[in-house]
Structure 1
Amino acid sequence: MTVHTTPHPDGGVELTIRLTAVEVDAIGLAEAEGLAEYLDTALWGLAVLRTGRTARTPDLRPIEARDLHAVIRDLHKHLAPRVGGVRDAAIRRHRELGGSTADLAAAMDTARSTAQDRREALDRTGPRRADVARWETWAATRQN
């Protein structure tokens, strides 16, 4: 996967995410497009929060509470659980492949004790809890 930026005539940029054939096969085009949409919402929300203005309307009016509805919905309901599932599945697989707590701590840029706590939390609540299992299983299983 690679990310490219291309200047846009309006002064912005176009971000292009390129997936390999293997990545598309593993993820699925519809799933990849959905995740890209949620990421788009996250970037839009970041701009709206930093400027205090609607970033994609001609009038660039000040934001209102209702403008953040889509940001909250897409991030809370769609993006955060999926990203958490990918993270948890990666931590679990890292351990299965012989990754050490020190390696995990380096990857997480945190203390070894924090990395150990994260691993232990996954052991305690891992795939046995339905809400956790759904997204961790989703991340680690090829979708058809």
Structure 2
Amino acid sequence: MDITVSLTAEEVAAIGSAEAEGLADWFDTALWGLAMLRTGEVCRDEGAGTTEIHDAEMDTVVRDLDVKLLPRLAGIRDAAILRHRELGGSVGSLAAAMDVARSTAQTRLEALENPNPGPRAASSRAWQEWAATAQQD
């Protein structure tokens, strides 16, 4: 099955074609990893049919998801939460969008707005900035 992600020229300009290609590749890895976990096999080995999963395949899945994709997704999410607030969104509507209790949404928002973040939050802020900054090819 082929899955196509279509971007407008404006979206490509904002994201950057290299960045979009990297993200698409890491999304692909997520689906590939999910299939391997569910089947117990590597189904993409060119011409060999299916093969046994080895740690090398899981290395790729873990690296692409944990190091590359998840921090970027968290940055996009956190930047979206802050932009929601900037646009006048209420904590109640944020809670509904997040499918959490109002108090949970308030706590997450306050953590993102904290002017004195710890080391982990500083990394999060870097990914928020990445998400909100136009990329250049």
**Alignment TM-score > 0.5, same fold:** yes
* CA-CA distance at 1:131 after TM superposition: 1.1
Higher strand share: 1
* CA-CA distance at 1:62 after TM superposition: 2.4
Corresponding position: 1:39 with 2:27: yes
Runs of 4+ in 1 over 4 A off after TM superposition: none
TM-score by length of 1: 0.85
Which residue of 1 is the match for residue 135 of structure 2? 143
1:32-77, Cα deviation, whole Å (9 max, x unpaired): 0110011111110010111111121224122122320000001111
Distance in 2 (alpha carbons) for counterparts of 1:76 and 1:141: 22
30-39 or 62-71, larger mean C-alpha shift: 62-71
Paired residues, number: 131
Distance in 1 (alpha carbons) for counterparts of 2:78 and 2:4: 27
1:2-81 equivalence runs, <5 A: 13-57=1-45, 58-81=48-71
Higher helix share: 2
Q: Which has the higher contact order (CA 8 A, sep 6+)?
A: 2
**Percent identical across equivalent pairs?**
58
1:72-131, Cα deviation, whole Å (9 max, x unpaired): 0011110000000000000001001110011101111111111111111212339x9431
TM-score by length of 2: 0.89
Gaps spanning 5+ residues in structure 1: where? Answer: 1-12
79-88 or 102-111, larger mean C-alpha shift: 102-111
Q: CA RMSD in A?
A: 1.6
Which residue of 1 is the match for residue 104 of structure 2? 114
Distance in 2 (alpha carbons) for counterparts of 1:130 and 1:109: 26
**In the alignment, is the contact (CA less than 8 A) between 2:13 and 2:135 conserved in 1?**
no
Matched residue SS, 2:3: strand
Gaps spanning 5+ residues in structure 2: where? Answer: none
